Structure 1
Amino acid sequence: MTASAPIQRPLLALLIRLGAVACLATMQMLIKLASEHDIHLLEILFWRQFITLPIAFAWVTMTSSIAVLATNRPWDHARRAAYGMLGMVLNFGGVILLPLAEATTMGFTAPIWAVILSAIILREKVGKYRWAAVIAGFAGVLIIAQPGGGNIPAVGAGVALSGAFMVALISIQIADLNKTEKPLTIVFYFAAFSTPSVALALPFVMTHHSLMEWALLLGIGLAGSAGQLLLTSALRFGAVASVIVMDYSSLFWATIYGWLVWQVLPPAATWIGAPLIITAGLVIAWREHTLSRQRRREAAAKGT
């Protein structure tokens, strides 16, 4: 007997997504603190992924069946893990190199990169609305980065933008995996494949830690795992196009954490450029939603 599809509950989906964003923003703040305690990035990555394994396994056993972890695509999961680890290195590196608000805003360019990749890799026809959004989004990036103006480190901006590019690239992989795999299966195998590979670096980068530093590493793992699982849960009750708008609330958390922990507020350039990037992302999400509805109507019409 197969389980019935979950009832769509848009408000609940939005609230869960908000919780996921808060968890992931907290994880980023803890990553930045951990780096300031001279904890190596590779060790941060190890604990981030290692702690996910028992949590994801427990979540699977409580919410479904262990059979959900069965897969016929181990190599696809391994490839997703390799891309995912590179993406995490870049995204965590952006958080370490930039103020939180700027690193978060650069991450908002992922939908913009996704449009470019869909045109190049998937040969998808991209219309004027999405190309206009791409141009507006990168204009926002230039305003924030101010090349040559020294507003933010150029290397940090490049790392953060590369991380957003990897998020877009990985989204294509995950979309393909979602055709046959459950979201929790994808989360579990990402951690299962990536943890041993990062563990190989531990003898070279791991150092003695104080109780405070262990608490930071535990917090990174718990906050990251909670964020991933909440993201998965949100998609049980609402469509991607309807819940993704909540992701932009991470700028609020980044600003609050930047002020409370580092007594730093974003400069005027960020407040001018960020709305351009956010608007670009919203336009892209709106067009994706509109085009998806059109395709479903056309498919239904052909079926009648």
Structure 2
Amino acid sequence: MFAIGLRLAAMAMLSTMFMLAKLAGEAGVALPELMFWRQAMSLPLIAGALLATGRIRLLRTNRMASHAKRATTGTVGLCCNLGAATLLPLPVATTLGFTTPLFAVLIAALVLREMVGKWRWTAVVLGFVGVLVIARPSDAPVPAMGLAAGLGAGVIVAIVSFQIRDLARTEAPIACVFWFAFYGSLFTAILLPFYAQPHGLREWLLLAAIGLSGALAQFLITAALRFGQVATVVVMDYSALIWSTLYGWIIWDHLPAVSMWMGAPIIVVAGLIITSREHFLSRRISPTSALDEAATEEAQPVKIPAGT
């Protein structure tokens, strides 16, 4: 229950970050600048917390190249996530982010050549039907760039999940978070001379709040995975849809279109099928029988750590 509570709080913080990013975008803050401050402001928070608790040694690594590679992919994903948040209504952007498990199954099957059974293939087809319902409504067309950004975020986060799984074999979770922010700040700083501009107090407060909420979300996601199983806590990610809908209603006086109410449950159900199936297989397949099981039904499932 503690892990579930942490994950729910993480989704609240993540939804808040995207809401603030949308407000900042409307105030004229360019996307590259949003990305830079989202990363840069989390660095002193992480380093300060580790210094205060005497755990700065957790940042030591012998895999700096792997962190840089993960940060390169993750920065593209952050661009897609923030781009979707600024271009689309928040509930739509959030729902498109739920396609990550669908793309993770596709990557596992087509790239990693893992065996994928009928349950997960059915969930993938069902999930993309939900995307089509949202993308082709009769009453409110979804902007093509926003749709591309939302689906791009799903693809990139799925790829990042596999990179994190590899890094997690040797690296502390907080080290993955810190070096992602470090390299992400360096990458986006290159664009600042072309996009940075003077801001008023409101814009700087928004940027500071984006960095703080994003860092808190990452801390809470990491803590939730420490105290609970992935398959248990990841289901709580769908609570983000509640927050995004609430923010859209209170701040922008916007409620989702009928197509959104129809498509979102389909995508959520598809994600739940994948999560429950992977949880079932992870309990069913023992180390001694994994190869035999893979030959007859499905291989051991991919663990997908959630997060941005």
The interval holding the TM-score normalised by the smaller chain is over 0.9
- Aligned CA-pair RMSD: 1.6
For structure 1, list consecutive stretches of 5 or more residues without a partner in the other structure: 1-10
Aligned position for 1:195: 185
| Inter-partner Cα distance in structure 2 for 1:202 and 1:212 | 19
For structure 2, list consecutive stretches of 5 or more residues without a partner in the other structure: 293-308
* Greater shift in the superposed pair: 19-28 or 54-63: 54-63
| Inter-partner Cα distance in structure 2 for 1:112 and 1:148 | 25
Aligned position for 2:83: 93
Matched, 1:112 2:102: yes
Deviation at 1:180, TM superposition (A): 0.7
| Inter-partner Cα distance in structure 1 for 2:289 and 2:57 | 33
SS in 2 for 1:60: helix
Mapping of residues 42-57 of structure 1, within 5 Å: 42-57=32-47
Deviation at 1:152, TM superposition (A): 1.2
| Inter-partner Cα distance in structure 1 for 2:272 and 2:34 | 32
Deviation at 1:51, TM superposition (A): 0.8
* Greater shift in the superposed pair: 19-28 or 117-126: 117-126
Q: Is the 8 A contact 2:9 2:220 kept in 1?
A: yes
Q: Is the 8 A contact 1:30 1:216 kept in 2?
A: yes
| Inter-partner Cα distance in structure 2 for 1:163 and 1:148 | 25
| Inter-partner Cα distance in structure 1 for 2:52 and 2:236 | 27
Q: Is the 8 A contact 1:147 1:154 kept in 2?
A: no
Matched, 1:183 2:173: yes
Matched, 1:174 2:159: no
Q: Is the 8 A contact 1:60 1:184 kept in 2?
A: no
Q: Is the 8 A contact 2:135 2:147 kept in 1?
A: yes
Matched, 1:258 2:253: no
| Inter-partner Cα distance in structure 2 for 1:298 and 1:57 | 42
Letter in 2 for 1:215: L
Q: Is the 8 A contact 1:136 1:280 kept in 2?
A: yes
Q: Is the 8 A contact 2:139 2:257 kept in 1?
A: no
Q: Is the 8 A contact 1:23 1:226 kept in 2?
A: yes
Cα deviation code 1:23-48 (max 9, x no counterpart): 00000000000000110101111110
Letter in 2 for 1:157: L
Letter in 2 for 1:55: L
Cα deviation code 1:185-222 (max 9, x no counterpart): 10011011111221122122111111111010001000
| Inter-partner Cα distance in structure 1 for 2:145 and 2:197 | 27
Matched, 1:223 2:213: yes
Of 145, 152, 156, the match for 2:142:
152
| Inter-partner Cα distance in structure 1 for 2:57 and 2:157 | 28
SS in 1 for 2:204: helix
Cα deviation code 1:78-136 (max 9, x no counterpart): 00010011111111111111100000000000000000001122211000000000011
Mapping of residues 29-40 of structure 1, within 5 Å: 29-40=19-30
Task: Compute the TM-score of the two structures, normalised by the length of structure 2.
Answer: 0.91
| Inter-partner Cα distance in structure 2 for 1:109 and 1:263 | 26
Letter in 2 for 1:246: M
Aligned position for 2:268: 278
* Greater shift in the superposed pair: 56-65 or 161-170: 56-65
Cα deviation code 1:260-291 (max 9, x no counterpart): 11000001111111011001001100111111
| Inter-partner Cα distance in structure 2 for 1:79 and 1:67 | 22
Task: Compute the TM-score of the two structures, normalised by the length of structure 1.
Answer: 0.92
| Inter-partner Cα distance in structure 1 for 2:126 and 2:180 | 33
Letter in 2 for 1:281: G
Structure-2 change in CA distance of 1:58 and 1:161 (3 Å)? same
Q: Is the 8 A contact 2:78 2:153 kept in 1?
A: yes
Aligned position for 2:223: 233
Q: Is the 8 A contact 2:245 2:255 kept in 1?
A: yes
Letter in 2 for 1:67: R
Structure-2 change in CA distance of 1:293 and 1:38 (3 Å)? same
Matched, 1:124 2:136: no
SS in 1 for 2:116: coil
Matched, 1:84 2:74: yes
Of 232, 239, 244, the match for 1:249:
239
Aligned position for 1:7: none
Letter in 2 for 1:41: L
| Inter-partner Cα distance in structure 1 for 2:73 and 2:283 | 30
Q: Is the 8 A contact 2:133 2:263 kept in 1?
A: yes
Structure-2 change in CA distance of 1:64 and 1:135 (3 Å)? farther
Runs of 4+ in 1 over 3 A off after TM superposition: 61-64, 147-150, 296-300
